[in-house]
């Protein structure tokens, strides 16, 4: 199987100083590693790499790197993928790229987007569709890596969910997650809102356990607090004796 070819060149200078010189020359530094081979420091043309990447697969694109020595000579061709790309947050230009050597007959681990299709039945009854996983890690041979994994949610009612075990995968593709992990579900937001309102305290409300204490401590309207039951009036004993 043929893959898009990208020309790279072995670079001698390594470290920050060497990388700065490469960028000053209008190229991007990178490294090719994997398959139990020594890493090779390389440089490449940014535009050539970006135009070689599949617009859907992006870094999951399998490439043929033509690695040439800086002094010339026969180039070595290596099957590889972009494992990591560092991007300048301001200019959005590539700063450094790691290429991973791959064997077209051996599995590689990559991340693939999950795309929901259809309209869930539960949403017509007020439910809300919730997507738990937007990407999933998979294992597959380079040529079998899917662009995306589509999931039809049309049959989901309120309370229903789709799990990893429900994914329909092409031959040679394995998802590296627990089969019970949820992909998408339909929830009832109205029920959740009512529960939240019941749980939330009302502003200015007095807690039940404190209501009785507050009532007992409050003075009577327009006067002093009522005396406790059974309490004697001040000076009451003398008044009784005079009356006799």
- 98-to-35, 57, 125, 225, 234 alpha-carbon distances in Å: 14, 17, 49, 82, 94
Give yes or no for residue 100 having a pLDDT over 80: yes
Q: What is the pLDDT of residue 242?
A: 47
pTM: 0.68
Tokens of 73: 């000579």
Among the listed residues 2, 102, 107, the one whose alpha carbon sits nearest the alpha carbon of residue 52: 2
* Final residue before a domain boundary, out of 44, 67, 101: 101
Residue 242 lies in a domain: no
Does 183 lie in the same domain as 118? yes
**CATH number assigned to the domain comprising residue 168:** 2.170.120.20
> Mean pLDDT over residues 110-116, rounded?
96
Does 130 lie in the same domain as 60? no
Does 123 lie in the same domain as 79? no
* Final residue before a domain boundary, out of 40, 69, 101: 101
Q: What is the pLDDT of residue 210?
A: 53
Q: What is the sign, positive or negative, of the torsion defined by CA atoms of 14, 20, 25, 29?
A: positive
Domain count, the chain: 2
Does 140 lie in the same domain as 94? no
Does 115 lie in the same domain as 97? no
Q: What is the pLDDT of residues 188-202, one digit of tens each?
A: 976 555 555 556 665
Angle CA 133–134–140, to nearest 5: 95
Residue 221 lies in a domain: no
Q: What is the mean pLDDT of the chain?
A: 82
Which has more confidence, 184 or 220?
184
Report d(CA 32, CA 100) in Å as an integer: 6
Does 124 lie in the same domain as 95? no
| Cβ–Cβ under 8 Å, residues 202 and 196 | no
Report d(CA 232, CA 234) in Å as an integer: 6
Give the three-state DSSP class for 83: strand
Q: What is the pLDDT of residues 210-234, one digit of tens each?
A: 555 555 554 544 444 444 444 444 4
Report d(CA 207, CA 202) in Å as an integer: 10
* Final residue before a domain boundary, out of 101, 132, 164: 101
Residue 48 lies in a domain: yes
Does 80 lie in the same domain as 143? no
Q: What is the pLDDT of residue 52?
A: 94
**CATH number assigned to the domain comprising residue 96:** 2.40.240.10
Give the three-state DSSP class for 112: strand
Please report, rounded to a whole number, the percentage of residues in the chain having pLDDT higher than 90: 61
Does 67 lie in the same domain as 150? no
**Which domain covers residue 122, as residue numbers?**
108-194
Q: How confident is the model at residue 131 (pLDDT cuts 50, 70, 90)?
A: very high
Q: What is the pLDDT of residue 244?
A: 43
Tokens of 185: 């579900």
């Amino acid at each position: 199987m043929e893959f898009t070819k990208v020309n790279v060149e072995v670079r001698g200078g390594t470290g920050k100083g060497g990388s700065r010189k490469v960028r000053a020359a209008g190229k991007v530094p990178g490294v090719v590693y994997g398959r139990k081979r020594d890493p090779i420091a390389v440089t490449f043309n940014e535009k050539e790499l970006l135009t070689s990447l599949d617009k859907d697969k992006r870094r999951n694109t399998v490439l043929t790197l033509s690695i040439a020595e800086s002094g010339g000579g026969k180039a070595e061709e290596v099957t590889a993928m972009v494992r990591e790309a560092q991007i300048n947050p301001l200019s959005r230009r590539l700063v450094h790229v790691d290429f991973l050597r791959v064997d077209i007959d051996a599995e590689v681990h990559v991340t693939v987007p999950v795309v929901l299709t259809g309209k869930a039945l539960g949403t017509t009854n007020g439910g809300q569709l919730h997507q738990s996983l937007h990407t999933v890690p998979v294992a597959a041979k380079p040529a079998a890596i899917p662009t995306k994994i589509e999931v039809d949610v049309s049959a989901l009612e309120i309370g229903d969910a789709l799990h990893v075990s429900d994914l329909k995968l092409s031959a040679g593709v394995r998802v590296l997650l627990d089969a019970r992990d949820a992909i998408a579900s339909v929830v009832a937001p109205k029920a959740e809102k009512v529960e939240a309102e019941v749980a939330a305290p009302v502003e200015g409300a007095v807690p039940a356990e404190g209501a009785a204490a507050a009532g007992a401590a409050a003075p009577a309207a327009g006067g002093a607090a009522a005396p406790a039951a059974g309490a004697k009036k001040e000076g009451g004993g003398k008044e009784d004796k005079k009356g006799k």
